[in-house]
Amino acid sequence: MMNKEQYMASLQKLHPIIYCNGKRIENVVEDPMTRPHVNSAAMTYELACDPAYENLMTATSSLTGKKINRFTHLHQSAEDLVKKVKMLRMIAQKTGTCFQRCVGLDAMNATYIVTHKIDRECGTNYHERFTNFMKYVQENDFMVAGSMTDPKGDRSKKPGDQVDPDLYVHIVEKKKDGIIVRGAKAHQTGMVNSHMMLILPTTNLGKNDKDYAVACAIPVDAEGVTHIFGRQTNDTRRLEGDIDTGNSEYAIVGGETLTVMDNVFVPWEHVFMCGEYQYAQEYVEKFASYHRQNYGGCKVGVADVIIGATATMAEYNGCPKASHIKDKIIEMIHMQETMYNCSLGCSYEGTKTEAGTYYVNTLLANTVKLNCTRYMYEISRLAHDIAGGFIATLPYEKDLKNRITGPLIKKYFAANPNVTTENRIRMARLLENMTGGTALAESMHGAGSPQAMRIMLYRETNIEGKKKMAKQLAKIKED
Amino acid sequence: MMNKEQYMASLQKLHPIIYCNGKRIENVVEDPMTRPHVNSAAMTYELACDPAYENLMTATSSLTGKKINRFTHLHQSAEDLVKKVKMLRMIAQKTGTCFQRCVGLDAMNATYIVTHKIDRECGTNYHERFTNFMKYVQENDFMVAGSMTDPKGDRSKKPGDQVDPDLYVHIVEKKKDGIIVRGAKAHQTGMVNSHMMLILPTTNLGKNDKDYAVACAIPVDAEGVTHIFGRQTNDTRRLEGDIDTGNSEYAIVGGETLTVMDNVFVPWEHVFMCGEYQYAQEYVEKFASYHRQNYGGCKVGVADVIIGATATMAEYNGCPKASHIKDKIIEMIHMQETMYNCSLGCSYEGTKTEAGTYYVNTLLANTVKLNCTRYMYEISRLAHDIAGGFIATLPYEKDLKNRITGPLIKKYFAANPNVTTENRIRMARLLENMTGGTALAESMHGAGSPQAMRIMLYRETNIEGKKKMAKQLAKIKED
Amino acid sequence: MMNKEQYMASLQKLHPIIYCNGKRIENVVEDPMTRPHVNSAAMTYELACDPAYENLMTATSSLTGKKINRFTHLHQSAEDLVKKVKMLRMIAQKTGTCFQRCVGLDAMNATYIVTHKIDRECGTNYHERFTNFMKYVQENDFMVAGSMTDPKGDRSKKPGDQVDPDLYVHIVEKKKDGIIVRGAKAHQTGMVNSHMMLILPTTNLGKNDKDYAVACAIPVDAEGVTHIFGRQTNDTRRLEGDIDTGNSEYAIVGGETLTVMDNVFVPWEHVFMCGEYQYAQEYVEKFASYHRQNYGGCKVGVADVIIGATATMAEYNGCPKASHIKDKIIEMIHMQETMYNCSLGCSYEGTKTEAGTYYVNTLLANTVKLNCTRYMYEISRLAHDIAGGFIATLPYEKDLKNRITGPLIKKYFAANPNVTTENRIRMARLLENMTGGTALAESMHGAGSPQAMRIMLYRETNIEGKKKMAKQLAKIKED
Amino acid sequence: MMNKEQYMASLQKLHPIIYCNGKRIENVVEDPMTRPHVNSAAMTYELACDPAYENLMTATSSLTGKKINRFTHLHQSAEDLVKKVKMLRMIAQKTGTCFQRCVGLDAMNATYIVTHKIDRECGTNYHERFTNFMKYVQENDFMVAGSMTDPKGDRSKKPGDQVDPDLYVHIVEKKKDGIIVRGAKAHQTGMVNSHMMLILPTTNLGKNDKDYAVACAIPVDAEGVTHIFGRQTNDTRRLEGDIDTGNSEYAIVGGETLTVMDNVFVPWEHVFMCGEYQYAQEYVEKFASYHRQNYGGCKVGVADVIIGATATMAEYNGCPKASHIKDKIIEMIHMQETMYNCSLGCSYEGTKTEAGTYYVNTLLANTVKLNCTRYMYEISRLAHDIAGGFIATLPYEKDLKNRITGPLIKKYFAANPNVTTENRIRMARLLENMTGGTALAESMHGAGSPQAMRIMLYRETNIEGKKKMAKQLAKIKED
């Protein structure tokens, strides 16, 4: 396992092409725009080396028997699924934001199951290849970006029917030693500070979409790969100082890219699906359900910080005992613990797959994320309510530090006499940044949009069974 | 273990004094007002004898090693807690209503833990007595009514400060061979068809409330006990026929009594707390949390039936495919599975007590019931929405069967040509009765009112810990 | 104008055929099942004769210049529309329930507008006929049942495509002196204690539905008319006493019938539409919008009573000052006043029609009712929350009056020492009955189901206009 | 009346001291940080000179009989109150944001009423002074900043009990020719581009707070006044280009300042309250209710743009017809029109004050804003849902324009083939910025925080009257 420093050093050996705000980022570890994202991900390395967190952060490899970082682990039990959730909540309490590494973890676990099935049914040897890849990842303690979401182009058309064939990643050519792929993946969390990306399909595919049925692993700095870093709410504040950005150490959300693959070569040993379109749907569902499970972990940890910041703001404002404030904080707790509870439930109800690993309960996992798409907004709303109008009109950090305006701000934004105005502003800025724009949108669309969960909830429910129960009680006889 | 018939026979050997609608009920098994409630409870006996349900319905006694009905079981593992939830959902799918027996189960498990603690700290021998009582219950497969809720009188006063000392059950006299208790318990679910009741305190107590710190077991037909059966929405419809009552076989809710104890004698062997007021709060919380856990089981089973009835109504009305109807049904599923998921989560997270049995996660168990107080109303609202105005204006069963009006009703309330009007009406009546009045109020107040959960959620949360997390990220240093 | 006594006397001169619970009701005024409904409607007569309410309850006829009951008025100004809302709220505060007479008022106003349009475009003389009918209604101060909702049969088929042609009211024959109609109207509020019914179509119609385009007035006791009275939650409690029924004087909801017309003859002077199918949609929308406007009046008055009962229960229970209770009551107030506010808004924004009368703002009127379908459930939920579990388990009135159980109930259900137990029970029963079953379903489906409002909201919105605004600000130029 | 150009020119004649991001802003009209805010306010001048909007935008002065900008008008009728709401919605449709000028309008109308009352009861001559001030404002068509919110310091203490006496604006000295005031006002909307500010108290005051009972008018560039401009979500994006900022022309919210008054002299003719603490509460309530009325105008106009942008995004993404998308848009419409409806209702119900002007219905006005604190969040949530994850990860404007990355972005973020990628990004950026951070917080706290409305709702409700209604129906007699 790597520690934090080793992880950072390892990133500096890579040379991905990353654009951000019109310029190339040469060093993701040092660049102020990406550094906080690196710090978040680094937490997954740091804590794994801390004996206090060994139980949650590490596991014993089912492939090598060695102690590994849990983020490279293939789940061997329902308990492993539960530990994932608890680990995610715990790390998020320390970063207050996305630490990115679960996407790859979920992609790897989904791939392990699906390659096993394809091989069994089609006689291919993807599973063996992938098992070797997993060993390689575990041994190097790589951070792997799970790369699923294609740009999708015209939503009313399937991949093979798009005017521009590149709007979903596809196989351009099969060669003796590997394949050439082309296209892009959007919304790629953690990509700029990963070592590898694991490509998988984004939707169910039909016969005409055969070339789009591709799964493979690619180094982030492979030839032909270009990353364009997305912008987030208030992101450039971090160029100005450490207060206004709120969570200056770890940023607010994951840091996503549009990652373009312009005829990238992938050797066969890193190809895990190549044309078996009929497995795309299961692949997507497996990955999505694993990933939806997470939101009752990481977002609940984020909510821990939001609730803590809110309770602190009430105190800093001088009104921590007001009954309506306590009531709103209870409501926030109720929502976060409902999400957490759902994540635990769907994990404990996980079952063994034919590949030998464990998979969450699909129906229950989808409730987790659907709750999240509502509750994180509601938690943010209540946080705003308690924090006060202050969070919308705070002066600039530079004005706080200015010789003339600084003393005025300190004088006039003082509240609770035991708290410095700077601390009050710091807490307000943390809250402002954790509850706005990109952070909310991420709670909505990460791991799939609400409608995707709703479709799954219906599909996984036995409606006919429920009808029978009702007819039985209503004493209805039908032929 | 008793089967259904043995259970009914055993009830007929008891002679409790029960009043209902101005008259005594002489035979709870045969009386049309109580029969459906007996039927529901009987399901807990019937299924326990059915090999298909053995896994959920039975357990191995930790006291005797014998196979017992799970409703008399002391939970030996988190798995046992989970099985309780799954059992409750499964039975509710078959009864569509409360089957009452979980209250005693929860009271017994709470008493087992608390007596163990009192003995350890006070040198009493309640735990041994209670263990013997448990063996007696298990061997006779008794249905035990968990008797907690006192009438409470003036809510602004503690038990010992009430003008009328009887508004909480209390010890009137300690005698050589036992104690005399006096008072009443309200909202007693399943009382009229139980064998015994297990009295426990209803609130935390202070020094002045010593006489109110009493736990004991009393036969339902002990001398001095009078039961007054409460009325429910549309209950007398069952005297008119089987359609309008909806769920004619099993009723809609539990069937509650006001049970008065007028100087009832209890022998020492059935006394499990006698003055140790300082344990009342823990006792209440243990019972309440066990009981709140249940609502993601039984109410979810009830919701299965409501959803099934709603989907059937959409079909019977001729519009099962409308997108807004499907969307509402998905919302109903989302809510029920969230409740279920929460019940599973708090169960799996259960931990071993010092008494050796397992207890749910308190914080998480309280989210279950708080969700229930909202979701069952919302599920009912959506059911009304889909079912149509029809459920509010349906004609009487006697008019359906009347020579003149029957044909008119059948002609004009016909909808989907493949369904008889009577079946359409049956389903509407089931839905009407499952989603109104008493059924909703039970979802609100059973196992405690919402405010009780909110207080627990706050008490069980580490707010200071959350504040620290926020301060860490906001880089706030305080002295 | 008739007073209360005259109204009751006038009903006794009619001889409608009404079935209820397997028997004919011979005298709607005296029969205990219908008497409370008569009392509610009578309030519209009583208050009109009370000088204190003259401003709201009466108007000056635009047809005769005489002072008339506002329930027979053709709205002459936006102020008239506002007065309707205020009148409805005021009466509901006194009855706590539906007083039924607004349906006819809305049907008459819709008919006045639509007949004017048909005549203008088709050269018919319906408007003159209808104007004469209105004079007749005003002079006799009739209660007119607005009869819109057909049974509808198979929801996937239009009227003319149903297997049974009678599932929508239709013209069977046109004769020299009038027409013969056949079919039924369902959910007919106030029918049994009205003088006349005003038939109008229930849905938009196509060419094949010509015979279904019929509007006409029929006496409730015309030959061939049979009324079947629907049952409501807890309705037979009124046969047992006056406590358990809650609002014993005025019932809980409107009292609906299935009204069957078996070849009923209607003279031409009472026929107001006869085949002009292309006006059916506008007719329906006009009526529906007028009727949806009302729900922020009458239901808000009902909510006044529910809130008053809830606040009283808090006091009777002994905890009126708890902050969470006050907070919930505020929430109830917020919801009711939002509904009221919306009703006022859509009324004041009413505009003059070509017929010279005033019509509400359609878009805004639809928000009123859509809010109502949610808020009345939520208000009821909060009422249950505050009232306590008590409302679900109260003993029977006969037990309260029983020699043995009466004293026990009085002793043990005592709470606030300044309040008798009977009064506490009375208030709980009022609340129970106002917040359950039929009352809720009526808030959902009266004046149309939620989906109907949603369709109207979309149709009445200028989405293209909104898109343009957004494009303007985003500086998007399109060709 | 001034037109847009005259307004801008008039601002350039003033020389307020404004700090922003560590520097002074010398020219608010030209500075890129303030220019968009000036543009929004300028719209109130531009439209007033446009004959197409004359009816809404102008009024006849009650003081001079001249045609004036409605933003300087004293409301002479309920119709005037309604026109205010309609004007606000209309302007917001054109700016997509706050145009700031209503605060002064509301402050002036509140002051007019309260000075009238003080004079009548205390024999002062504030009202005459203020009337003269109003003429001066109307004649010069000034933009007046309504300055209410003091920094408040320790929320648990009244103004006179604060450790630092300056945390509420107060009178430092009374001189022959005027008074000296000291303190600050926070969250001052539109201050930097106003001509004058009108100071009024922020809370009810007691005897000890006499010096805090001060109302007066001060030029924004008076000696001793310093403005510190607050920062908003994504505000510095406007320094980078015109796409990422979304609404580049008019910004997203109002542009607030902390305005410090360091011993500022005010001549007596501009002092409108000076020590009459007992009128502070009414003053606050009048201003607040006028201001809460507005949110169903301006925010509904903002919602028009958000809904338009959302519907456009659905189209640009290629899925405008999905039933769940249409359903969500309907929900957004329902919420906005409910707010609008409430604003209209409380306006039409406005009544004449003793000063002769019109004032909104207080109870109803408070529902408007309380709905707004929830609905704007919910509307934003639904907008995010429909827009897609895209809005959280869009690349920077500079990358879109970059030679290398621009073509990649255009290729891969193409969707609907009829729409350019740049337009798709423009619309997404508009939506992102209108639905995040500061914009939401403004909907929450502008015109007061939710708890303030709740207190008013309770105070304005006749709870005892409601209780009586319930007792009447439950047939409860009390002595």
User: Rounded to an integer, what distance in angstroms lies between the CA atom of residue D366 and that of residue D361?
Assistant: 9
Hey, of D37, D327, D396, which one would you mutate to test binding to chain A, going by the most A CBs within 10 A of its CB?
Answer: D396
Residues C310 and C251 in one domain: no
Contacts of C323 in chain A (CB under 8 A): 323-324, 327
Q: Are D415 and A152 in contact (CB under 8 A)?
A: yes
- Shortest alpha-carbon distance between residue B267 and chain A (Å): 43
Residue A406: give the domain boundaries.
291-473
Mutate to test the interface with B, among A451, A469, A471, A477 (most CBs of B within 10 A): A469
**Using an 8 Å Cβ cutoff, are D110 and D200 in contact?**
yes
Domain-embedded: residue B75: yes
Task: Take residue C382 and report the two structure tokens written for it.
Answer: 């909060």
Cβ separation B346–A341 shorter than 8 A: yes
D189 carries an active-site annotation = yes
3-state secondary structure of A221: coil
* Residue C282 resides in a domain: no
- pLDDT confidence band for C8 (50 / 70 / 90): very high
CA distances to A121, C326, C328, D342 from C321, rounded to whole Å, are 69, 7, 12, 30
- CATH code: domain of residue A17: 2.40.110.10
Distance, CA of B162 to CA of B165 (rounded, Å)? 6
Long-range contacts: D368-371, Cβ < 8 Å, 24+?
Answer: D368/C341, D368/D292, D368/D293, D368/D295, D368/D296, D368/D339, D368/D342, D368/D343, D369/D292, D369/D295, D369/D447, D369/D448, D369/D453, D370/C334, D370/D450, D370/D453, D370/D454, D370/D457, D371/C338, D371/D296, D371/D335, D371/D338, D371/D339, D371/D342
Q: Which residue of D has its CA nearest to C251?
A: D473
- In single-letter form, the type of residue at position D38 comes to V
**Is the residue at A361 inside a domain?**
yes
Specify the pLDDT at position D4.
98
Q: Are A228 and D408 in contact (CB under 8 A)?
A: yes
Task: Calculate the dihedral angle through the C-alpha atoms of D329, D334, D335, D341, rounding to the nearest 10 degrees.
Answer: 140
Which two three-digit tokens encode residue C134? 């209105």
Residue A479: pLDDT above 70?
no
Among B277, B307, B326, identify where a domain stops. B277
Q: Chain centroid to CA C5: how far?
A: 23
- Asked about D331 being catalytic, the answer comes back as no
Kindly state the tokens that stand for A451.
Answer: 């409608």
Residues D192, D300: one domain? no
**C320 and C272 part of one domain:** no
Q: Is C240 helix (H, G, I), strand (E, B) or coil?
A: coil
Residues of C belonging to the active site? 98, 102, 189, 256, 291, 295, 298, 442
A416 has a chain B CB within 8 A of its CB: no
Q: Is D298 a residue of the active site? A: yes
Interface of D with B in 326-345 (CB under 8 A): 327
In a domain, A283, yes or no: no
> Tokens 């910041």 map to which residue?
A309
User: b/e map of C138-149 (b: 16 or more CB within 10 Å)?
Assistant: beebbbbbbbbb
> Which residues in B lie closer than 8 A to residue D322 (C-beta atoms)?
none
Q: How confident is the model at residue D479, as a pLDDT? A: 64
Mean pLDDT taken over chain A: 97
Does residue C282 register a pLDDT over 80? yes
Residues A331 and A232 in one domain: no
Residue of B nearest to C384 (CA): B441
D324 touching B (Cβ < 8 Å): yes
Query: What confidence tens digit (pLDDT) does each residue in A108-150 have?
Result: 999 999 999 999 999 999 999 999 999 999 999 999 999 999 9
Single out the catalytic residue among D46, D315, D397, D442.
Answer: D442
Alpha-carbon gap, residue A127 to A145, rounded angstroms: 19
In-domain check, residue B285: no
Residue finishing a domain among A249, A277, A305: A277
Do C340 and D345 meet the contact criterion of CB atoms below 8 Å apart? yes
Mean pLDDT of chain D: 97
- The yes-or-no answer on residue D442 being catalytic is yes
Asked if D270 and D325 sit in the same domain, the reply is: no
- Which of A295, A316, A359, A375 is catalytic? The answer is A295
pLDDT digits (tens, 9 = 90+) for D286-336: 999 999 999 999 999 999 999 999 999 999 998 888 999 999 999 999 999
Residues in chain A: 479
Q: Give the containing element (helix H, strand E) for C369.
A: helix C362-387
CA distance D70 to D75: 9
Sequential pLDDT tens for chain B (479 residues): 999 999 999 999 999 999 999 999 999 999 999 999 999 999 999 999 999 999 999 999 999 999 999 999 999 999 999 999 999 999 999 999 999 999 999 999 999 999 999 999 999 999 999 999 999 999 999 999 999 999 999 988 999 999 999 999 999 999 999 999 999 999 999 999 999 999 999 999 999 999 999 999 999 999 999 999 999 999 999 999 999 999 999 998 889 999 999 999 999 999 999 999 999 999 999 999 999 999 999 999 999 999 999 999 999 998 888 999 999 999 999 999 999 999 999 999 999 999 999 999 999 999 999 999 999 999 999 999 999 998 999 999 999 999 999 999 999 999 999 999 999 999 999 999 999 889 999 999 999 999 999 999 999 999 999 999 999 999 998 76
Clarify whether residues D231 and D120 are in a common domain. Answer: yes
What is the CA B229 to chain-centroid distance, rounded? Answer: 16
CA distances from B309 to A68, A473, B96, B237, D378 (A): 50, 10, 11, 20, 31
Both tokens assigned to A372: 């999240």
Point out the annotated binding site of D for FAD. Answer: 189
A98 is catalytic: yes
C82: its two tokens: 């506002």
Name subunits touching B (3+ CB pairs < 8 A): A, C, D
Q: Which residues contact D123 (CB under 8 A, 6 or more apart)?
A: none
Cβ <8 Å between C308 and D466: yes
- Looking at this protein, which amino acid is placed at residue C42? A
B53 and B166 co-located in one domain: yes
CA atoms of A124 and A322, how far apart (whole Å): 65
CATH code for the domain in which residue B391 is found? 1.20.140.10
Longest dimension (CA), chain D: 86
DSSP 8-state assignment for residue C446: T
Residue C7 has pLDDT above 90, yes or no: yes
- Cβ neighbours of B327 in D, within 8 Å: 323-324, 327
- For the ranges A338-342, B128-132, C155-159, the lowest mean pLDDT is seen at C155-159
Please check whether residues D266 and D304 belong to one and the same domain.
Answer: no
Lookup result for tokens 């050796």: B356
CA neighbours closer than 13 Å in the CB half-sphere of residue A281: 7
Q: CB–CB of D225/D171 below 8 Å?
A: no
User: What's the CA gap between A10 and A139, in Å, rounded?
Assistant: 14
Put simply, the answer to whether C19 touches B405 (Cβ < 8 Å) is yes
At C479, the pLDDT band (50, 70, 90 cuts) reads low
Q: Which residues in D lie closer than 8 A to residue A167 (C-beta atoms)?
A: 412, 414
User: Which site among B466, B471, B472, B479 would you substitute to test the A interface, given the most A Cβ atoms closer than 10 Å to its Cβ?
Assistant: B466
- The set of catalytic residues of B is 98, 102, 189, 256, 291, 295, 298, 442
The residues pairing with D227 across neighbouring beta strands, listed in sequence order, are: D18, D259
Query: What pLDDT sits at residue A319?
Result: 85
* pLDDT of the residue at B254: 86
Cα distances from B226 to residues B25, B181, B186, B219, in angstroms, run 12, 14, 12, 12
User: C124 touching D, CB under 8 A?
Assistant: no
Contact at 8 Å (CB) between A256 and A20?
no
What confidence tier does D212 reach under pLDDT thresholds 50, 70, 90?
Answer: very high
**A88 is a domain residue:** yes
ipTM score for this prediction? 0.97
Query: What is the percent of chain B where pLDDT is above 70?
Result: 100
Chain D neighbours (≥3 Cβ pairs under 8 A) are A, B, C
| Same-domain status, A387 and A267 | no
Domains identified in chain C, total number: 2
- Check whether residue C256 and residue C368 sit in a common domain: no
In a domain, A284, yes or no: no
Put the strands of the sheet holding A178-189 in their side by side order.
A23-24, A17-20, A225-229, A256-267, A178-189, A170-174
Closest CA to B410 of C203, C260, C191, C256: C260
Q: Which residues contact C418 (CB under 8 A, 6 or more apart)?
A: none
Residue-wise pLDDT tens digits, D430-476? 999 999 889 999 999 999 999 999 999 999 999 999 999 999 999 99
Q: Does B189 count as an annotated binding residue?
A: yes
CA distance C116 to C272: 10
> pLDDT at position B479, please?
64
D452 and D424 share one domain: yes
Q: How does pLDDT run across D140-187, given as a tens digit for each residue? A: 999 999 999 999 999 889 999 999 999 999 999 999 999 999 999 999
Per-residue pLDDT tens over the stretch A176-196: 999 999 999 999 999 999 999
Tell me how far apart the 2 most distant CA atoms of chain C are, in Å.
87
D478 is catalytic: no
Please indicate, yes or no, if residue C351 is contained in any of the structural domains: yes
The pLDDT tens digits of the residues spanning A278-318 come to: 999 999 999 999 999 999 999 999 999 999 999 999 999 98
Q: Do residues D26 and D64 share a domain?
A: yes
Mean pLDDT of A217-233: 97
Contact A457, B333 (CB under 8 A): yes
Closest by CA to B399, choosing from B416, B430, B421, is: B421
Residue ending a domain, choose from D219, D247, D277? D277
Residue A320 has pLDDT above 90, yes or no: no
* C200 burial type by CB count under 10 A (0-12 exposed, 13-18 middle, 19+ buried): buried
